[in-house]
Structure 1
Amino acid sequence: MATVGLLHPGEMGAAVGGCLVSVGHEVLWDPAGRSRASTGRALAAELTGAGLDRLIAKSSVILSICPPHAALDVAGQVAAAGYAGIYLDANAISPATAEQVAGIVTAGGATYVDGGIIGPPPEVAGHTRLYLSGPQAAEVQPLFSRSPLDARIAEGPLYAASSVKMAYAAWTKGSSALLLAARAMARASGVERTLLAEWSLSQKALGQQSEAAASTAAAKGWRWVAEMEEIAASMAAAGLPAGFHEAAADLYDRASHAETPASRRPAAPEPPSSAFDTVMSALM
């Protein structure tokens, strides 16, 4: 069994760590400066608290799952600590950013493996996949054998896993942003009711989907801004228009400033329609 280091047990990271624990691996995390929420997630996933020095010394693999804007800083911290094992970056970053991360950690003595997670935090088998790429990807894949997380090798260049993640999220999160923008435009133009009526005839799911997208954008928009920027950079690098996802980044930034039950804990719950209106106001 392996010892894996996990620096940031967010919702996704803690769940991935829990998958490793469930098949017998030891997962270390550094509780220094972490929030109560992070501590609670780590305890629930049965992760083992350790100082950074012990985590670096004992871990054969370090797993980075953090907001995209923090990926380079996390890599720098690990490299500065002299880590010489396998560094798996599974963040939502462009191949170009992944290349920068690889340069940082390999200069410090580590081996880089590229990763990309598709799906929700893995709790049951069959819903979430971890794509891996690079020469040492086959060394990491068996760690997740028999766990709820389906680890797969992404065929292609070193940063293929990041490319898969970018292409997938370009549609899922990008289309949600477009749907929100369409409804906000209809509201600003005074035709929202007419649009909803037309959707009920020809696109029956879009009304509810737009409301669900608003709730999610309010809660996670702050994290998705950088992800949309990474996708825009990936599009530009491929010779494709970057404007779709630059606009999505702007929209998620606006949504992240909406005060709703999804983004805070109100004294009294707001009705769903009020929360949706708050997000729409933030967008316009």
Structure 2
Amino acid sequence: MGAAVAACAVSAGARVLWCPSGRSAATVRRAEQAGLEPVAELRELFHRAEVMLSLCPPAAAEDVARDVAQHGFTGIYVEGNAISPDRVQCIADLVGRSARAVVDGSVIGSPPVGAKHTRLFLSGPADATELVTELFSGTPVSTPVLGEEIGQASALKVSYTAYQKASRVLAALAYGVAQHHGVDRALLEVAGGRQGSYLAETGYIAKTAARAWRWAPELEEAADTLRAAGLPDEVMRAVADTLRHWTDAKDDQGISVEDALEMLRGSSR
């Protein structure tokens, strides 16, 4: 996602910097394909950049923010990760000690490659969100602004994640039960009569398994947000625990539906 979003900013005329130090060969290849400009050290990147966009696994969000804060970054920091509004506020307090402004962001949609589009929702100071919007003007990345409150963009992401990803896991479990009892075809026939039912998309079970290592932390963020809002969080935590049964399927594009279901069955014995 990071390289694809960065490539859109490049296509709009921005110079996009990145630091290849300690990164994998695959990451380097994606950055080169996206037209990003390498810099030797993070210190140089933080000194030269006017806008910093953080897109990383949720667990690493604070680590990235601490690096930014330690280098005294003075530009606009966009916290674009799938984390709770409370965590975004903590990061804003940390980075905001030196940064000109902190913008809360959330990416919803597929990576903007080919004919695909995505949305980078924003909330924060108006002058800062306007500048971020300009960076992606005319590209497949649209930048709806939700308001000036830090946490609004993240709340939208968490709300969407709570439903969309949990529904995929519930569909996998439902199909697994039906298959166990030999009624999977009947389930698909019933589900096929309902427009947009995830139950009819069995191929997505394998995709969910391959993405589970990323989705589980996001649903923990959703659970934290539910608890902060005074709502029950047990369902989200249970779904996150279920996703962890697929940890060994990380980014496995060749995993089958049956293999994914067998991993769930095996983990419950």
TM-score normalised by length of structure 1: 0.85
In the other structure, the counterpart of 1:152 is: 144
CA contact (8 A) 1:117 1:128 kept: yes
| Letter of the 1:246 counterpart | R
| Letter of the 1:38 counterpart | T
Alignment coverage as a number of residue pairs: 261
| Structure 1 pair 239–280 and aligned structure 2 pair: CA distance change class (3 A) | same
Offset of residue 34 of structure 1: 0.2
Offset of residue 178 of structure 1: 1.5
CA distance in 2, matches of 1:283, 1:141: 45
**Structure 2 unpaired stretches of 5+:** none
Q: Deviations over 1:162-194 (max 9, x none)?
A: 11111111111111111123234445xx42x22
CA distance in 2, matches of 1:26, 1:206: 40
CA distance in 2, matches of 1:202, 1:111: 51
Choose the corresponding residue for 1:200, options 176, 188, 192. Answer: 188
Kindly, what percent of the aligned residue pairs are identical? 37
| Letter of the 2:210 counterpart | A
| Letter of the 1:34 counterpart | R
Choose the corresponding residue for 2:159, options 145, 164, 167. Answer: 167
CA distance in 2, matches of 1:231, 1:110: 29
| Structure 1 pair 249–276 and aligned structure 2 pair: CA distance change class (3 A) | closer
CA contact (8 A) 1:61 1:87 kept: yes
- Classify the secondary structure of the residue corresponding to 2:147: coil
Do residues 249 (structure 1) and 240 (structure 2) align? yes
In the other structure, the counterpart of 1:275 is: 259
**Structure 1 unpaired stretches of 5+:** 1-11
Choose the corresponding residue for 1:239, options 230, 238, 251. Answer: 230
- Classify the secondary structure of the residue corresponding to 2:144: strand
CA contact (8 A) 1:65 1:91 kept: yes
CA distance in 1, matches of 2:198, 2:186: 10
Do residues 221 (structure 1) and 209 (structure 2) align? no
Offset of residue 201 of structure 1: 2.7
CA distance in 2, matches of 1:184, 1:126: 31
> 216-225 vs 75-84, which deviates more?
216-225
> 149-158 vs 76-85, which deviates more?
149-158
- Classify the secondary structure of the residue corresponding to 1:154: strand
| Letter of the 2:30 counterpart | R
> 197-206 vs 239-248, which deviates more?
197-206
